[in-house]
């Protein structure tokens, strides 16, 4: 047990506590960025003028008519930018574009005394466009070879040799749609100019430091002139990691130019049409199995739909490639990745950050091939698990694979899976028009930012003379319970009651140069930093105490009068990790988080409608810091994953009509996310026991992202239920999302002819092999200052 | 007429000067009551839910609605409670305490809305005790993106009965506030039908609103603005209910009120209610408004078509009665003339012996139908003597499946007839491809509607 992970007796970490803001949440007293508007006098409201075309050159922009609208104060255009006209870090995202790249792209912003006036002003702005050809779908982009950024490759062994030596070889294509974050709070910023020209921006941002950097470079200021604060967010899920910067910059620019506070809050429609989403992916694959059903070789080419700019698409792709193996040992591997450039929103981080898309590929392969191999999918998955000392295709030895096996066994036992699968078979035999399926799937998810430099964090801990403690750290709170855990860490380290500790809102002038609250690693990183700061203070207090065992308040008072520093800045960096993004190899992850889910579903053969009957989950969070928070993350992540895989259906107009490129599911009435009705009738979640993680704060593990991928169990259960409509042993191709319509058509195909979605034999359908000389990364990626974040 | 005002969390708040298009959510937030949030501005997410006092029998009921859809001026004279009015961080309301302790909030943004929806159900006077006493449909119109709902469900099911002296419970013993006439620039709430019709004559371009669940979306999402709004949802002449002869339902009764008034006497509609939008919408939307908006999908219209319903239209020239099957004339168009209102909906008795409502959508609850099929049959001595089938989502208007009806009437009610009629039904309407479903799927769903009904109700080998 390491010093970092060692947990004292009577620790406050490990207690099941409600969210630190729960009482504020339930009473409506918790404040979010846009709630501050009503507490800020003389606010101007910002409204965008959005492109109706997916790709067009702006040939004329006349804002004069807007200024005639009563209440309109100013229209912001490219001419107003004193610094850099760019909202990103790679200079491929102009804040005010000359060429619009997607439907909804803002060409200018109107500021007015009321939102109503700003809206009317925006409608009055005259813009002429010269339309340009647009690539809307991923298929079109692949056909046109319209890519952006680097084209990384992960290779191990000799895939040709591996396939040639395999008993059975299959090839096919797997496609999956993206996902809208649909955080309940849309993007919001409120900017004002403080004393001395200091710009203060309150923003719903997961990455305040990067928001600060972008605001500064747009304004042509140094970072120390700009402070960004995030009180809390109404959900983030990765959608507020890279995307808030431009909105914050608009608000800040408006505040600087008008001298009045500027509020920018996106309507839901604007949020959905203007901001990035989870990447849809297309994957071509060839896979070989040996006599025993063991994976022998895998070749795959993954193409993500990046949208109009690079944003975080490269690191998302890297994580996807690093997770194609999921929990399975594959001796020979060749993985290619590329990012399509399409005229859509710039796709971005979303819980799992490419990991889910990578893992879906192998789970889809196993789900489709199991019947062809004549192997029970439960057995096929289990027999391919990593074992001790085996390494991932990128070269990292998989530590603690036995924990995954333990979780698997526990789910099978507590979920009564063997008996219930027999029950499913009996149900299916008795019901011609309704079928059930029960599937079990594993999750292995790497924790740390792939890019090593981001794995650092800072904290500021103040002990006041009265013994009360105030902590600041670099992470933001978006509902995931980070602040709750940080309070528990501080109370544990200092040995004080929880009530003695408060956490202050995240601000760039308290803790600088922070990484995004992302990659599930904020507790590991900020927890390490908070602990470090507390230990510094504690060490000084121990000297004062000199073994007397003084009560806390007394000790603090005495320390103050002895002129002992009662605050400290803490710092943490994850040790022992390294990553070469050129070779796509190294030891990028501090550890892996594991989980297993078993899901039983029922499908109505008449409509394809389906419901989840029961789910059993065992998930590995190490030694939980905060069990109520962790279980909440597991359940919430799982349901969000089920939404992605079975319901949430992003549709763009891919026709050649006038609406081409338009997102047709741009509101809550057309884009459906899970509601209470999607909660499984039975949901059993257990945290894996004996799961101490030596390398993380108080023995815990990250929990934000991994549970999302537990939802594969539902998708695979749907596949099995659909297969039951067909002849014994049918292989089923299932679209993602598996909406009722998709499930219905899959069942129709299962009832009909033999499957044609998999090619057997060599050479099979050989995946595209992109130019081996292509660089693995965009030249501006992974720069130290203002480098791209990752979630 | 006194200046318009609304009582919020027990405190009178002036509405004077509030623009017609300002919704209750923005009004409340402007007061500094920022607990209610805008999540979608179209009544889909429930983050803006608040409770209003509505009449119920001799007393009243706390009724949750989406504040984003209600014009602020429509609250004149009413009483509203927001999450801030339920409890404080120091003294949580039982609903709030349960949500907080059980992990029912993560990001907290949807939470005040959940608290209001849950509190309204908590105060339902006839709510049975015990975990099943809480009707989970009460929170079907609230979306949470963080928790996955399990802790919210558990918090709801763990609620006890309100304490005896709970002031919000006691409030329900007294009647709802009297309806007040509102007359401000751009917004009128007339006191009776005659006044309403006069106003419509005076303002031919006026937008008529009841629950405003449709107009609110137009105003919020599409920026539509009315030169004049006339609120008709409290007109006494539009709020009648009678079962003498045909069932006559006042057009301004909300769907929740209709559901309560019918009390299960029309089984086809009993099937519709839980599938129709959400309680937050049904508490605002009226039966007349639902028909007048003439949505091609509207789940109620197919059901009422199958029930052979008629609508009673009132104007300065008196009433006229129109068969619902003749009411819809085109996409979002009806036979309603300028200055005319739907006064009531009539459902003839006796009802058909067999009826079904089948809705296909991406999500089980609170979704818009890809296809809705309502069917009502009378079978005498094994022969279909009368068939009425209403369809939604497969044409520019809700429509009767007349060819299918002909394929059923006079035939023996057998699997063979069902199969033959299903082939006809699959070709009814003119379904299109859109973001909800493909045309092919819609046709397939039409074709399977009767087959599924047959299997469930008469078939063999399928038991639940």
A268:B112 CB<8 A: no
pLDDT tens column, B86-119: 999 999 999 999 999 999 999 999 999 999 999 9
Q: What is the ipTM of this complex?
A: 0.97
Transcribe A757-782 into DSSP letters: SSEESSS-SPPP---TTS-SS-TTTT
Chain A touched by B415 (CB under 8 Å): no
- Concatenated DSSP letters of A347-415: ----TTTTHHHHHHHHHHHHHHHHHHHT--HHHHHHHTB--TT-B-TTS-B---HHHHHHHHHHHHHHT
Mutation target vs B (from A28, A37, A649; most B CBs, 10 A cutoff):
A28
Q: What is the CATH number of the domain that holds A627?
A: 3.30.365.10
**Would you place residue A228 in the very low, low, confident or very high pLDDT band (cuts 50, 70, 90)?**
very high
Question: Taking CB atoms and an 8 Å limit, are B223 and A185 in contact across chains?
Answer: no
Q: Identify whether the C-beta of residue A60 lies closer than 8 Å to the C-beta of residue A125.
A: no
A782 band by pLDDT with thresholds 50, 70 and 90: low
Average pLDDT, chain A: 96
Half-sphere exposure of A300 (CA within 13 A, CB side): 34
Helix (H, G, I), strand (E, B) or coil at B260: helix
Indicate the SS3 state at residue A783: coil
How far is CA A119 from each of CA A49, A114, A363, B222, rounded to the nearest angstrom?
9, 9, 47, 11
Judge whether A252 and A226 are in contact, CB under 8 Å. Answer: yes
**Mean pLDDT (whole number) for A344-351:** 98
Residue B460 is predicted with a pLDDT of: 59
CA dist., res. A132 & res. A136, Å (int): 12
Pairwise CB contact (< 8 Å): B148 & A234: no
A789 within a domain of the structure (yes/no): no
Both tokens assigned to A569: 């800045």
| Overall domain count for chain A | 3
Last residue of a domain, one of A274, A302, A325: A274
Mean pLDDT value across residues A513-526: 96
Contact B34 A606 (CB under 8 A): no
B229-282 pLDDT tens trace:
999 999 999 999 999 999 999 999 999 999 999 999 999 999 999 999 999 999
**How confident is the prediction for chain B on average, in pLDDT?**
96
pLDDT at A382 over 60: yes
Give the DSSP letter of residue B336. P
| B51-65 tens-digit pLDDT | 999 999 999 999 999
Asked if A479 has any chain B CB less than 8 Å from its own CB, the reply is yes
Contacts of B21 in chain A (CB under 8 A): 116
CA distances from A290 to A169, A293, A327, A363, A730 (A): 9, 5, 18, 18, 21
Greatest alpha-carbon pair distance for chain A in Å reads 85
CA distances from A87 to A59, A122, A215, A246, B300 (A): 22, 21, 8, 5, 48
What is the number of other CB atoms lying within 10 angstroms of the CB of residue A275?
A: 24
Q: Are residues A646 and A739 in the same domain?
A: yes
Reported pTM: 0.97
Is it true that domain B181-351 has CATH number 2.40.50.100? Answer: no
Q: Which of residues 748-777 of A touch B (CB under 8 A)?
A: none
Closest CA of chain B from A184, distance in Å? 5
Q: Dmax of chain B from CA atoms?
A: 69
How far apart, in whole angstroms, are the C-alpha atoms of residue A534 and residue A568? 7
Interchain contact, A647 vs B362, CB within 8 Å: yes
Are A526 and A569 spatial neighbours (Cβ–Cβ below 8 Å)? no
pLDDT greater than 70 at residue A786: no
Residue A772 has pLDDT above 90, yes or no: no
My answer on whether A694 and A592 are in the same domain is: yes
CB A26 to CB B112 under 8 A? yes
A184, A649, A665: residue with CB nearest B37: A184
- Is residue A580 one of the residues assigned to a domain? no
Q: What local confidence, expressed as pLDDT, does residue A785 receive?
A: 37
- Find, among B219, B217, B225, B211, the residue nearest to B288 by Cα: B211
> Which residues span the domain enclosing A200?
42-133+181-274
- What parts of chain B have a pLDDT lower than 50? 461-464
In chain B, which among 333-362 make CB contacts under 8 A with chain A?
A: 360-362
- Last-in-domain residue among A539, A573, A607: A573
- Would you kindly state where each structural domain of chain B is located, as residue ranges? 181-351, 354-457
Binding-face residues of A in 427-446 toward B, CB within 8 A = 430-434
B354-457, superfamily in CATH? CO dehydrogenase flavoprotein, C-terminal domain (3.30.390.50)
Same domain, A424 and A516: no
A77 lies in some domain: yes
Residues 6 or more apart in contact with residue B132 via CB below 8 angstroms: B157
pLDDT for B321 = 98
- pLDDT of A128 > 80? The answer is yes
Best residue of B51, B106, B426, B462 to probe chain A, by most A CBs closer than 10 Å: B106
Tell me, yes or no, whether A764 lies in a domain.
no
Secondary element (H or E) of residue A629: helix A627-646
Distance separating alpha carbons of residues A682 and A615, to the nearest angstrom? 6
Same domain, A239 and A329: no
Contact B106 A479 (CB under 8 A): yes
A515, A598: one domain:
no
Does A417 share its domain with A269? no
Reported as a single tens digit per residue, the pLDDT across A610-629 is 999 999 999 999 999 999 99
Q: How far apart are CA A268 and CA A184, in angstroms?
A: 9
Q: Are residues A329 and A383 in the same domain?
A: yes
* Residues of A annotated as part of the active site: 705
Please indicate, yes or no, if residue A244 is contained in any of the structural domains: yes
Q: Are residues A591 and A701 in the same domain?
A: yes
Q: Which tokens sit at B25?
A: 């959510």
Instruction: Give the mean model confidence (pLDDT) for residues A476-486.
Output: 98
Tell me whether residues A25 and B455 touch, CB distance under 8 A: no
- Put simply, the answer to whether B112 touches A669 (Cβ < 8 Å) is no
Tell whether B99 lies on the interface with A, counting CB pairs under 8 A: yes
Is there a common fold for B181-351 and B354-457? no
User: Taking CA A570 as the corner, what is the angle to CA A566 and CA A571, rounded to the nearest 5 degrees?
Assistant: 165
Beta strand spans in B302-446 (E)? 310-315, 318-323, 328-330, 333-334, 341-347, 354-360, 371-380, 383-392, 399-400
Average pLDDT over residues A448-458: 94
Reduced to 3 states, what is the DSSP secondary structure of residue A300?
A: strand
Q: List pLDDT tens digits, range A713-739.
A: 999 999 999 999 999 888 999 999 999
A478 in contact with chain B, both atoms CB, cutoff 8 A: yes
**Selected residue of A676, A682, A744 to mutate for chain B interface (largest B Cβ count, 10 A):** A676
Task: Assess if residue A700 is contained within a domain.
Answer: yes
* pLDDT tens per residue, range A537-573: 999 999 999 999 999 999 999 999 999 999 999 999 9
Task: State whether A549 and A643 are in the same domain.
Answer: no
Both A440 and A528 in one domain: the answer is no
* Residue indicated by tokens 């200079």: A91
Q: Which residues of B touch A232 (CB under 8 A)?
A: 107-108
The answer to the question of residue A2 being in a domain is no
Is A557 in the same domain as A568? Answer: yes
CB A76 within 8 A of CB A49: no
How far apart are the C-alpha atoms of A637 and A506, rounded to whole Å?
24
Evaluate whether residue A690 is within a structural domain.
yes
Which pLDDT value is given to residue A754? 64
Is the domain of A380 the same as that of A421? yes
pLDDT at B366: 86
């Amino acid at each position: 047990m390491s010093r970092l992970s060692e947990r004292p007796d009577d620790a406050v970490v490990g207690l099941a506590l409600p969210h630190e803001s729960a009482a504020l949440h339930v009473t409506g007293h918790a404040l979010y960025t846009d709630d501050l508007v009503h507490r800020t006098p003389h606010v101007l409201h910002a409204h965008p003028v959005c492109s109706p075309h997916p790709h067009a050159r702006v040939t004329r922009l006349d804002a004069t008519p807007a200024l005639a609208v009563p209440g309109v104060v100013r229209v912001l255009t490219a001419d107003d930018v004193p610094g850099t006209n760019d909202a990103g870090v790679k200079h491929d995202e102009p804040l005010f574009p000359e060429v619009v790249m997607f439907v909804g792209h803002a060409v200018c912003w109107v500021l007015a005394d009321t939102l109503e006036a700003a809206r009317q002003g925006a409608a009055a702005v005259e813009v002429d466009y010269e339309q340009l050809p647009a690539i809307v779908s991923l298929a079109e982009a692949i056909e046109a070879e319209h890519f952006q950024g680097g084209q990384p490759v992960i290779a191990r062994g000799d895939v040709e040799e591996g396939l040639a030596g395999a008993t059975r070889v299959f090839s096919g294509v797997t496609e999956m749609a993206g996902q809208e974050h649909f955080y309940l709070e849309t993007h919001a910023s409120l900017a004002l100019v403080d004393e001395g020209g200091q710009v203060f921006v309150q923003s719903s941002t997961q990455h305040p430091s990067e928001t600060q950097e972008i605001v500064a470079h747009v304004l042509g200021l140094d970072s120390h002139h700009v402070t960004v604060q995030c009180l809390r967010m109404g959900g983030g899920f990765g959608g507020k990691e890279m995307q808030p910067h431009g909105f914050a910059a608009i608000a800040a620019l408006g505040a600087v130019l008008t001298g009045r506070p500027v509020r920018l809050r996106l309507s839901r429609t604007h949020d959905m049409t203007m901001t990035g989403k989870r990447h849809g992916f297309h994957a071509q694959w060839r896979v070989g199995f040996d006599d025993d059903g063991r994976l022998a070789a895998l070749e795959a080419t993954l193409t993500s739909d990046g949208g109009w700019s690079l944003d975080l698409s490269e690191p998302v792709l890297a994580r996807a490639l690093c997770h194609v193996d999921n929990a399975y040992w594959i001796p020979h591997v060749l993985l290619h990745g590329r990012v399509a450039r399409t005229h859509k929103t710039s796709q971005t981080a979303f819980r799992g950050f490419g990991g889910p898309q990578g893992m879906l590929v192998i789970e889809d392969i196993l789900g489709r091939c199991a019947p062809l191999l004549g192997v029970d999918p439960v057995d096929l998955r289990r027999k391919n698990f990593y074992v001790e000392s085996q390494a991932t295709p990128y070269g990292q030895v998989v530590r603690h694979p036995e924990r995954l096996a333990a979780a698997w066994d526990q789910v099978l036992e507590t979920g009564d899976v063997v008996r219930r699968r027999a029950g499913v078979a009996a149900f299916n035999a008795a019901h011609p028009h309704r079928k059930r399926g029960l599937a079990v799937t594993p999750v292995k998810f790497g924790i740390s930012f792939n890019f090593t430099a981001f794995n650092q964090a800072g904290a500021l801990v103040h002990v006041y003379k009265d013994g009360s403690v105030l902590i600041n750290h670099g992470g933001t709170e978006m509902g995931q319970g980070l602040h709750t855990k940080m309070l528990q860490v501080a109370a544990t380290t200092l040995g004080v009651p929880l009530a003695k500790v408060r956490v202050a809102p995240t601000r760039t002038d308290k803790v600088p140069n922070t990484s995004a609250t992302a990659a599930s690693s904020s507790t590991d990183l900020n927890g390490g930093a908070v602990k470090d700061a507390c230990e510094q203070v504690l060490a000084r207090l121990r000297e004062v105490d000199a073994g007397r065992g003084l009560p806390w308040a007394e000790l603090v008072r005495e320390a103050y009068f002895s002129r002992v520093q009662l605050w400290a800045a803490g710092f943490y960096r994850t040790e022992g990790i390294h990553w070469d993004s050129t070779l796509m190899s190294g030891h990028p992850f501090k550890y892996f988080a594991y989980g297993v889910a078993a899901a039983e579903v029922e499908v109505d053969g008449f409509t394809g409608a389906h419901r989840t009957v029961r789910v059993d989950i065992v998930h590995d969070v190490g030694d939980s810091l905060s069990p109520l928070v962790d279980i909440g993350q597991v359940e919430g992540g799982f349901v969000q994953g089920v939404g992605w895989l079975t319901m949430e259906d992003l549709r763009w107009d891919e026709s050649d009509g006038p609406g081409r490129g338009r997102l047709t599911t741009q509101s809550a009435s057309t884009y459906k996310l899970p509601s209470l009705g999607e909660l499984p009738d039975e949901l059993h979640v257990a945290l894996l026991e004996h799961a101490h993680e030596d390398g993380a704060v108080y023995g815990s593990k990250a929990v934000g992202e991994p549970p999302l991928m537990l939802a594969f169990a539902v998708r695979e259960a749907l596949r099995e239920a659909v297969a039951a409509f067909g002849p014994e042993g049918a292989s089923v191709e299932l679209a993602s999302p598996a909406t009722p319509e998709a499930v219905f058509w899959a069942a129709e195909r299962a009832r009909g002819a033999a499957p044609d979605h998999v090619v057997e034999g060599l050479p099979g359908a050989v995946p595209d092999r992109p130019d081996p000389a292509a660089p693995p990364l965009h030249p501006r990626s992974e720069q130290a200052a203002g480098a791209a974040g990752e979630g | 007429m006194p200046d318009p005002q609304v009582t919020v969390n027990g405190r009178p708040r002036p509405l004077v000067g509030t623009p017609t298009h300002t919704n209750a959510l923005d009004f409340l937030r402007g007061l500094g009551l920022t607990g209610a949030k805008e999540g979608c501005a179209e009544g889909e997410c429930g983050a803006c839910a608040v409770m209003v006092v509505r009449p119920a029998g001799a007393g009243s009921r706390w009724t949750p609605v989406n504040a984003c859809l209600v014009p602020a001026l429509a609250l004149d004279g009413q009483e509203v409670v927001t999450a801030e009015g339920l409890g404080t961080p120091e003294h949580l309301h039982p609903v709030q305490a349960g949500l907080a302790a059980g992990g029912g909030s993560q990001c907290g943004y949807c939470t005040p809305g959940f608290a209001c929806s849950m509190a309204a159900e908590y105060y339902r006077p006839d709510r049975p005790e015990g975990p099943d006493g809480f009707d989970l449909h009460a929170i079907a119109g609230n979306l949470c993106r963080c928790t996955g709902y399990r802790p919210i469900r558990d918090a709801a099911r763990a609620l006890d009965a309100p304490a005896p002296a709970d002031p919000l419970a006691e409030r329900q013993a007294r009647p709802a506030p009297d309806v007040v006439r509102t007359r401000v620039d751009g917004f009128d709430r007339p006191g009776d039908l005659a006044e309403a019709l006069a106003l419509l004559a005076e303002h031919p371009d006026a937008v008529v609103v009841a629950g405003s669940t449709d107009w609110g979306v137009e105003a919020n999402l599409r920026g539509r603005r009315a030169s004049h709004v006339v609120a008709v949802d409290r007109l006494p002449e539009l709020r009648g209910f009678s079962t003498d002869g045909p069932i006559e339902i006042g057009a301004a009764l909300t769907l929740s009120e209709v559901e309560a008034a019918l009390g299960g006497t029309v089984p086809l509609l009993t099937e519709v209610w839980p599938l129709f939008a959400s309680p937050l919408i049904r508490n605002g939307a009226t039966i007349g408004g639902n028909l007048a908006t003439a949505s091609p999908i509207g789940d109620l219209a197919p059901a009422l078509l199958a029930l052979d319903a008629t609508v009673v239209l009132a104007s300065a020239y008196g009433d006229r009665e129109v068969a619902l099957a003749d009411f819809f004339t085109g996409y979002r168009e009806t036979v309603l003339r300028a200055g005319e209102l739907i006064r009531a909906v009539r459902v003839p008795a006796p009802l058909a012996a067999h009826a079904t409502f089948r809705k296909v959508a991406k999500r089980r609850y609170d979704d818009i139908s890809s296809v809705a099929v309502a069917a009502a049959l009378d079978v005498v001595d094994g022969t279909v003597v009368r068939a009425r089938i209403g369809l939604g989502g497969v044409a520019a208007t809700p429509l009767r499946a007349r060819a299918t009806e002909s394929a059923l009437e006079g035939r023996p009610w057998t699997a063979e007839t069902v199969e033959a009629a299903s082939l006809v039904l699959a070709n009814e309407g003119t379904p299109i491809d859109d973001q909800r479903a493909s045309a092919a799927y819609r046709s397939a769903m039409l074709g399977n509607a009767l087959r599924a009904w047959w299997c469930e109700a008469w078939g063999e080998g399928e038991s639940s």
